[in-house]
Amino acid sequence: MSFLREDWRQSETAAIRIGFGEGLTDVAKKNNLVVALSADLMESVGFGEFAKEIGSPRAIEVGVAEQNLVTVASGLAAMGNIPFAASYAAFSPGRNWEQIRTTICLNNQPVKLVGSHAGLNVGADGATHQMLEDIALMRSLPNMVVLAPGDANEARLMAGAMAGDKRPNYVRLPREKTPLFLNQSTFEIGKSYVLRRGKDVALLGTGVMTYQLLLAAEKLAKEYDIQAEVIHFPTIKPLDEEAVLNAAQKCQAVITAEEGQITGGFGSSVAEVLSENLPVKMKRIGVNDTFGESGKMSELWKKHGLDVDSITHSVVDFLQ
């Protein structure tokens, strides 16, 4: 079965946060325990449809108070509800990490945290709103599941899977519209997806970077006769370690890509698995110990080596 749409190279675009919000609304119509909370940002984080179709009392605005957002959500979970608590990722988990740690994770409450506007794609809002450290923050927390959908369709399915999961969850969602390229009918937490077969190098991506890797793989094959295997990891924690090890065993060279800090991020998670089980040549692509800045998504991706041409050149240099 192919996990790629037939038109993935020229597909339409859609906002992942909107796809997630639509999925959440679908779930809420079937399950009265599902509630949505936001820090005065229902529309911005993609919960606008939920607010209109489900509404009060299951759509809750707590105001610009992210610490309160997650503690209220934890209380709702303790009483048997399934709360989805959303804000900009710069502020949740950026501002309220201690409350997430103590109130949610320590008590193992199944709160679903939604960090919208994650990554460089926030653009003109600049460094203060470009959350790049959230993967590192959240995957270090005991009990926490960490997710990053590749497109709006996967995000829609992911909302349902999160609602059915009994653990605390965190999902990072970008702001900008991105290509629809995945062809899934179901989503399973903890599972990765092989999107392209290859033998020379394994390209492991999460979130919107997987699409960049697919385009880079085609360029590598056409211009350099390098056959790259591309694997999509929408679940960062728990990581599909078997898939990582199989790819490393097959290709003997691994490159990861993420729209966030490489320190403590998805690439670091992969490196931890490989260093302890199967050391192979590896490179991490992402933001390297610096903050973002104002600019278009395409400009920022190019600056930080996340555009297709930069990724292609990184792979070629890495293999030489």
Per residue in 15-26, pLDDT (tens digit) is 999 999 999 999
**What is the helix (H) or strand (E) element at residue 234, kind and residue range?**
none
| The predicted structure's pLDDT at residue 123 | 83
Q: What is the pLDDT of residues 126-178, one digit of tens each?
A: 999 999 999 999 999 999 999 999 999 999 999 999 999 999 999 999 999 99
Q: What is the pLDDT of residues 57-86, one digit of tens each?
A: 999 999 999 999 999 999 999 999 999 999
Per domain, the residue ranges of the chain are: 12-179, 193-319
Which pair of tokens denotes residue 249? 């065993």
| The predicted structure's pLDDT at residue 229 | 98
Look at the alpha carbons of 7, 10, 319, 300 in this order and tell me if their dihedral is positive or negative: negative
The CATH number for 12-179, chosen from 3.30.1490.20, 1.10.3720.10, 3.40.50.1370, 3.40.50.970, is 3.40.50.970
What number of other Cβ atoms are within 10 A of residue 199's Cβ?
12
**At the topology level of CATH, where does 193-319 sit?**
Rossmann fold (3.40.50)
* pLDDT above 90: residue 2: no
Cα angle: 7, vertex 13, 14; to 5 degrees:
130
Q: What is d(CA 1, CA 8) in angstroms, rounded to the nearest whole number?
A: 15
| The predicted structure's pLDDT at residue 196 | 97
Which pair of tokens denotes residue 132? 């790049």
- Give the rounded distance of the alpha carbon of 136 from its chain centre: 12
Which pair of tokens denotes residue 167? 């653990």
Q: What is d(CA 125, CA 138) in angstroms, rounded to the nearest whole number?
A: 23
| The predicted structure's pLDDT at residue 124 | 86
Cα angle: 183, vertex 282, 318; to 5 degrees:
95
| pTM (whole model) above 0.95 | yes
| The predicted structure's pLDDT at residue 1 | 61
Q: What is the pLDDT of residues 83-132, one digit of tens each?
A: 999 999 999 999 999 999 999 999 999 999 999 999 999 988 999 999 99
Q: What is d(CA 66, CA 62) in angstroms, rounded to the nearest whole number?
A: 8
> Among candidates 140, 78, 74, which has minimal Cα distance to 111?
74
* 3-class secondary structure, 271: helix
First to last CA, the chain: 33
Q: What is d(CA 202, CA 185) in angstroms, rounded to the nearest whole number?
A: 25
Which pair of tokens denotes residue 121? 């794609």
The bridge status of strand 228-232 relative to strand 201-205 is parallel
| The predicted structure's pLDDT at residue 39 | 96
Same fold flag, 12-179 and 193-319: yes
Q: What is d(CA 281, CA 302) in angstroms, rounded to the nearest whole number?
A: 24
